Amino acid sequence: MLSARSLFQEIHNNDQAFQLFCSIAAKGEDQGGWENGRIAQLVEDQELAPKIARHGADEEKHGRIFNALLHKRGLAPVPVPDDTDYTMILERQGIGLAHTRLRRDEPLTERDVIVYLAHSRVTEQRAAEQMQLLRKVFDGHPEVGRAVRMISADEDNHLAYCHEELLRLAAGGHGRLILTTLQETSHAEIRTYRDVSLAVLAHLGEILRWPRAKSALLAAGVHGVYAYERFGGGHRRMLTLTMPHNRNALGGPPVHESFA
């Protein structure tokens, strides 16, 4: 029987599949770390800048964690196929702040900050949900379980921070722009998540030598999720803003807990 648990355990049990999975995850986290670090340098809001820097430091830590999981298995990161690069595919669609913009030494405008936070609000929703799923799958595993618990706690904090900061900006009169940006970002994200998921499954299927019927069934599941999110109202969870219980979630210094 196909299930998320059986699928992820199959990936974990195969060195080459696990190597690709962790490499894809690590690259995305490293990219997020660079982007947030650069944004923290360019933002003029001195209360917001340290929170963005903390976000970036967390993402870099996650990249190190995925690489450490590989190292513990005697594996090295492998090149990430272009069709699985979620972060860069979103950027090529004009979602979030372009790297060409971040490389210029020009302060970010308030509109830039809203674009950044809306992008983070949507992508952190996805990240938080994925890590919650991985926690259920690997909770009892001594190494992977600890890794995903650490990352999951951070992703929950990142999502809370995005809610709180966007609500602050909405109260300042930017509600319409925030909603429009969230709608545009969520539509692009769910399409990109579908395409990247299909690409990842194709690469894993080749490594694990899945029969055609299994690959087709998994692909149908991805298309089903996309249909629900795009046409069945599933994307609405990415549009709402609710004040989180853990206020000021990124208000402290980054947690540099070792995973060596």
CATH of residue 233's domain is 1.20.1260.10
Using only the alpha carbons of the chain, give its radius of gyration. Answer: 18
Q: Confirm whether 260 is domain-assigned.
A: no
Query: 178, 118 in Cβ contact below 8 A?
Result: yes
- Chain center to CA of 100: 21
Q: Confirm whether 250 is domain-assigned.
A: no
How many other C-beta atoms can be found within 10 angstroms of the C-beta atom of residue 103?
Answer: 10
- Residue 140: the pLDDT is 85
- Number of folded domains in the chain? 1
| Spatial separation of the C-alpha atoms in residues 36 and 54, rounded to whole Å | 8
Q: Confirm whether 253 is domain-assigned.
A: no
Six-digit token pair at 79? 């090149």
- Residue 213: the pLDDT is 96
Q: Over its length of 260 residues, how does the chain's per-residue pLDDT go in tens digits?
A: 578 889 999 999 999 999 999 999 999 999 999 999 999 999 999 999 999 999 999 999 999 999 999 999 999 999 999 999 999 999 999 999 999 999 999 999 999 999 999 999 999 999 999 999 999 999 888 889 999 999 999 999 999 999 999 999 999 999 999 999 999 999 999 999 999 999 999 999 999 999 999 999 999 999 999 999 999 888 899 999 999 999 999 986 655 555 45
Q: Confirm whether 243 is domain-assigned.
A: no
- Residue 4: the pLDDT is 86
Range of the domain at 22: 4-238
Q: Confirm whether 256 is domain-assigned.
A: no
Q: Confirm whether 255 is domain-assigned.
A: no
Six-digit token pair at 51? 């929170």
- Residue 255: the pLDDT is 56
